[in-house]
Structure 1
Amino acid sequence: MQRHFWLRIVLGTATLLLTLLGLDAAFPLPPAPQYSPIVLAADGAVLHAFLNPTQKWRMKTELREITPALRATIIEKEDRYFYYHPGVNPLALVQAAGRNLFGRGRTTGASTITMQVARLLEPKERTVGNKLLEMLRALQLEAHYSKPEILQLYLNLVPYGGNIEGVKSAALLYFQQPPDYLSLAQTVTLAIIPNRPRGLVLGRHNAAIRQERNRWLRRFGEQSLFPRPDIADALLEPLDVQRHAAPTLAPHLARRLVRQFPGRASIASTLQRGKQAKAEDLTRNYVRRLRELGISNAAVLVVNNRTRAVEAYVGSADFQDSFTKGQNDGVQAVRSPGSTLKPFLYALALDQGLVTPKLLLPDVPTNFGGYQPENFDKRCNGEVPLDRALAYSLNIPAVRVLSELGVPTFTTQLRAAGFRTVAKRAPHLGLSTILGGCGATLEELTNLYVTLAAGGQYGPLRFASNSEERRSRNEPAAPGRKQQQSAKPTQHSTLFSEASAFLITDILAQLTRPDLPVGYETSLRLPKIAWKTGTSYGRRDAWSIGYNREYTIGVWVGNFSGQGSPALTGSDIATPLLFDLFNTLAYNSPNNWFQPPASLDFRLVCAETGRPPGENCPNQIIDYFLPGVSAGLRCQHQKEVLLSADGQYTYCRACAPATGYRRELYPNLLPEVAAFKEAQGIPYRRQPPHNPACQLVRGGRDQAPGITSPLANTEYVLTKGEQQQLLLSCTTDNEVRQVSWYVNDQFLRTAAATERVFFRPPTGAVKISCADDHGRNTDIQIVVNEL
């Protein structure tokens, strides 16, 4: 009998449980509330908040933000038996029924906090039937959520008038503080308003709210809920508040992170709130002064080099300015990088052993297979050492180094550095890449300079905290380790050596350079930095990117419309903002600088070429080099020449007489350098012509003239009726005195080797020929059309 009794009990219980589970499945809980996405700074402060999909301010209050004072106030005021009932308080129901039935005291519904959550999740008309549904939902909520989670839901849903819901929204919009930073008086203020959200509106009914607040504070004091001194201080606290706008710092990054992490109520970024606010103010005020120059926008990125965390992100000067397209994100916009890629090129060339800092590079008009670059100032310097070529951002030496390194090698490394546009266009890029003939973003370029500061070690920039990144990959935090300690990027690689990174940094930190802004001497607090400027073709983009051991700051200035400005240059427009940012954000950076790594060494080089001294190198200087990497080719800036007794002719080994000649040293110049010196009237010791009686060099093509204008295989369009002409110019061997020009195999004229000849070409396919006085000949083909 007893056995059957217990069996019925078990079966009954099982049936009840199954019934409850069935009802739970058939009538699931309402979906979780839709929160206002918020983006947090690295310290947890709210940087930017968005309306939720229903156009309400409902910012999620996290469990850690529910302070003991807030918890105690809400529970004491709303449901003192919250932790003891299963969602419905039977005793409160009986008391409420008695009051309502006999009309004694205030009419109440005996709602618990859990029942209020049920009503807030599913708003319904207040009827007896709906009250019963609230009770059932309350029981269901208690089965699914813990007490702290139910209290959290309540604090996230309580109304504060208008479109403000939740304690956190009210705390931020009225007190400009998160809930866990509120005083006791502010906490009690927010606890009393949800009962009368329309009658007690902060900013409009402050006096009435203060009176009601103090009434509850005295009541809490009588109940010893808080210490008496705390109650006394809270009673004296004034209430002079008004509604403030939601935080709107870092609007571009905020939108980027919300898209990257959809559905998150809060996203922890790496931004530093103070740095972000200062960077936005500096950028906005600086661009305001540039408006009269036809320049309307700028973007800024500030990166902590040690963690690669972005600490300030300014996508435009004014996000709200639709006239200047302020909602465009200049950090991610693809623009022409100008000369900002040159340090990276030279770093790669150093690692390939092609160059050293004091190696002299030709800076003369040069035709690179049809491409003729010019320096920014349209001038040439003859020959310059690499460190000067970089410090002065000379274009022609950079193109020469890229031609030696190889465009595919360069673009492959840019792709490894995260340059997305370069990756797409790599097969179509040429030598103009180094002068801005490719697309790049401020984010990509700034990270390239972070890589220089990191000794050549590349890793992606971090915009969100490590915990956010792990959540997006569903990775658990490492046991026993704090989240913020893991600061290394998830992907990293070595783009260039620490030695070449140091050499480039050493060059970029020089103060003797033309791209210093006017009045830089007044920047007394400016920490030591290395920096590089850039200006795109047409003066559409101005860049300046600088770094020290602690920070890298990238600046772009221009117009999102793409319109250029005569004043828009990296040195005059972008660098002053860069210096202002360093002065403001990093003026107290540790005064430690990069030290040369052990992989670097010194050696003596010839001052004339920058190469290890040969037999005739009396002038020598010290230069860095990479042992085992840097080329060891000896200097040959002078060559021995067999000279006739009267000094009129030179001999080659084949035609030199047995006696009657002497040996002398002459400059061993590249043909294009010799041609430049001739054209500029720069004196140099030119060797006499070769022995005219020697027949062995006739017809040889090794030193044939090189036609630099017009460009081979190029179409030229001339205007009918105008006396337009084409330029004929060439480079020749040092020994050449004269050249003869031919058009379509018809003799045109004889000219000096360095003379510039002009002529009117016929239309159609045209053959241009140049023959030197040694009998060597070069031909090219062009096409001429008339319009």
Structure 2
Amino acid sequence: KEYGAEAFLHDLSTLGFSTFQHSADYYGLSLILGGGEVTLWELVDVYSRSAQKLLNYQEEKIEYNIHFNDNFKSKGKVFYNEGVIYSMFNAMTEVVRPDSEGGWQHFQSSVPLAWKTGTSYGHRDAWAVGITPHYTIGVWVGNSDGEGRPEIIGSSAAGSIMFSVLHTLPGTGGWFDIPHDEMIEAPVCIKSGHTKGKWCEDVDTLLIPAASMWASACPYHELVYVNEDEKRVHINCSDQYTRKSWFHLPPDMAYFYQRDHADYEDLPPIAHGCEGNSSGSSIALLYPSSHESIFIPQGLNGEEKAAVFKATHRRNNSKIFWHLNDRYLGDTYEIHHMKIQVPPGKHKIKLIDTEGNEVNRTFEVVGD
């Protein structure tokens, strides 16, 4: 919400990607996952110029020697600073390598490599790009007729070829120097990744881009008061309490976070007589997103199909009551998925739990 797809699309264009032909509303959040059209030439160019900036090359003096695509001209500008590039490349070295490269970091002859992959919808083609201080390598794989195959995957198909190329190139060792002028040591919350907030307890001191200090401190740790039964209280309903720092995510974020973090614990239940101590919304509608346009295809025989709407609640044993355009549809318990047949047009969905908490959202169903 603070950044958004529109700003991201503008930044991609500034970097030199010229193939995005639609608006930010068309791409939406899929842009974050690579849901757009790019060429391998431009992809390699952007990563290569990022590495050159980190190496303190003067961009206007870089000479390109391209034998296979005389029509390609670099058009973009790398506007982010060296600290951001260094941190990005370091993160990209941690991408899991193909099986043939397993345990690479344990070998003295290993080559550090920042790399990224992509796979098109339907496995029609895939790519991999790798960056070292000496080379930028790009690999594209696919069938000439565009036919998809399950094996056409960026990490395994294109990635394996890229690593084979890397191992044949001379002088690939070493890594980028730390751009100390653009970096700073700062306490970082281990759980959220934000800089340390007021109530964060598990903290590590890391080297981060200096610009990161302008970002907000961790907003997800808060101070809660619990009684001897580990129930939540507040100072107006009990004078017997212990203060605890608690990692507390909004319900929609918690839903996805718990998939990979089984140790995540939501806020303790509120003690009897302290019900005024609520914190945030209890319900979140996961799909559809706010003001989203969705398409519901017809069945093979032209019959109307249903969309699966998804919600989540802080309490596992909760019940949610569903309404579409003020018409009651039914309720869900524990697993909050509801199949709904919705005609084309604009609609409003409302969810209410047993305590009266509710969430409202508008969306649009588009036709053929």
Question: What is the TM-score of this pair, normalised by structure 2?
Answer: 0.75
Which position in structure 2 is the counterpart of 1:548? 132
Q: Which of 319, 322, 326 is 1:741 aligned to?
A: 322
Instruction: Say if 2:315 is the partner of 1:729.
Output: no
Which position in structure 2 is the counterpart of 1:758? 338
Q: Distance in 2 between matches of 1:579 and 1:785?
A: 44
Deviations 1:586-637 (A, max 9, x none): 22x1644211012212223232223344455443323222335434644454
Q: Distance in 2 between matches of 1:581 and 1:644?
A: 62
SS in 1 for 2:254: helix
Q: Residues 718 and 691 from structure 1, CA distance in 2 versus in 1: closer, same or farther, beyond 3 angstroms?
A: farther
Which position in structure 2 is the counterpart of 1:68? none
Which position in structure 2 is the counterpart of 1:559? 143
Percent of pairs with identical residues: 24
Instruction: Say if 2:241 is the partner of 1:662.
Output: yes
Q: Which of 574, 577, 580 is 2:158 aligned to?
A: 574
Which position in structure 2 is the counterpart of 1:504? 88
SS in 2 for 1:454: helix
Which AA in structure 2 matches 1:545? V
Which AA in structure 1 matches 2:283? P
Contact 2:233/2:277 (CA < 8 Å) preserved in 1?
Answer: no
Q: Residues 446 and 670 from structure 1, CA distance in 2 versus in 1: closer, same or farther, beyond 3 angstroms?
A: same
Q: Residues 640 and 448 from structure 1, CA distance in 2 versus in 1: closer, same or farther, beyond 3 angstroms?
A: same
Q: Distance in 2 between matches of 1:580 and 1:710?
A: 43
Which AA in structure 1 matches 2:187? L
Q: Distance in 1 between matches of 2:273 and 2:364?
A: 39
Q: Which of 341, 356, 365 is 1:775 aligned to?
A: 356
Question: What is the TM-score of this pair, normalised by structure 1?
Answer: 0.38
Q: Residues 575 and 432 from structure 1, CA distance in 2 versus in 1: closer, same or farther, beyond 3 angstroms?
A: same
Q: Residues 690 and 743 from structure 1, CA distance in 2 versus in 1: closer, same or farther, beyond 3 angstroms?
A: farther
Contact 2:17/2:76 (CA < 8 Å) preserved in 1?
Answer: no
* Structure 1 unaligned regions, length at least 5: 1-402, 470-488
Which AA in structure 2 matches 1:508? M
Instruction: Say if 2:134 is the partner of 1:536.
Output: no
Q: Which of 94, 98, 103 is 1:516 aligned to?
A: 98
After superposing the two structures, state which structure 1 stretch, 714-723 or 500-509, moved more. 714-723
Q: Distance in 1 between matches of 2:191 and 2:120?
A: 33
- The count of aligned residue pairs is 351
Contact 1:605/1:623 (CA < 8 Å) preserved in 2?
Answer: yes
Q: Distance in 2 between matches of 1:625 and 1:541?
A: 35
Q: Residues 697 and 746 from structure 1, CA distance in 2 versus in 1: closer, same or farther, beyond 3 angstroms?
A: farther
C-alpha deviation, 1:755, in angstroms: 1.8
Which position in structure 2 is the counterpart of 1:452? 50
Q: Distance in 2 between matches of 1:592 and 1:563?
A: 39
Q: Distance in 1 between matches of 2:343 and 2:91?
A: 50
Q: Residues 770 and 516 from structure 1, CA distance in 2 versus in 1: closer, same or farther, beyond 3 angstroms?
A: same
Q: Distance in 2 between matches of 1:602 and 1:697?
A: 37
Q: Distance in 1 between matches of 2:15 and 2:230?
A: 57
Instruction: Say if 2:167 is the partner of 1:620.
Output: no
Return the structure number with greater strand share.
Answer: 2
Instruction: Say if 2:219 is the partner of 1:639.
Output: no
Which position in structure 2 is the counterpart of 1:16? none
Return the structure number with greater helix share.
Answer: 1
Contact 1:455/1:499 (CA < 8 Å) preserved in 2?
Answer: no
Q: Distance in 1 between matches of 2:32 and 2:259?
A: 27
Q: Residues 441 and 714 from structure 1, CA distance in 2 versus in 1: closer, same or farther, beyond 3 angstroms?
A: closer
C-alpha deviation, 1:697, in angstroms: 9.1
Instruction: Say if 2:30 is the partner of 1:435.
Output: no
Q: Residues 443 and 687 from structure 1, CA distance in 2 versus in 1: closer, same or farther, beyond 3 angstroms?
A: closer
Which position in structure 1 is the counterpart of 2:192? 609
Which AA in structure 2 matches 1:739? I
Which position in structure 1 is the counterpart of 2:64? 462
Contact 1:417/1:444 (CA < 8 Å) preserved in 2?
Answer: no
C-alpha deviation, 1:442, in angstroms: 1.6
Q: Residues 732 and 418 from structure 1, CA distance in 2 versus in 1: closer, same or farther, beyond 3 angstroms?
A: same
Q: Distance in 1 between matches of 2:172 and 2:296?
A: 58
The Cα RMSD (Å) is 4.3
C-alpha deviation, 1:444, in angstroms: 0.8
Which position in structure 1 is the counterpart of 2:14? 416
Contact 2:19/2:38 (CA < 8 Å) preserved in 1?
Answer: yes
Contact 2:251/2:313 (CA < 8 Å) preserved in 1?
Answer: yes
Q: Which of 154, 161, 178 is 1:596 aligned to?
A: 178
Deviations 1:663-688 (A, max 9, x none): 44243223223334678993544334
SS in 1 for 2:53: coil
Which position in structure 1 is the counterpart of 2:254? 674
Which AA in structure 1 matches 2:337? V
Q: Distance in 2 between matches of 1:634 and 1:762?
A: 42
Q: How does 1:696-707 map to 2 (within 5 A)?
A: 703=281, 705-707=283-285
Q: Which has the larger radius of gyration?
A: 1
C-alpha deviation, 1:568, in angstroms: 0.6
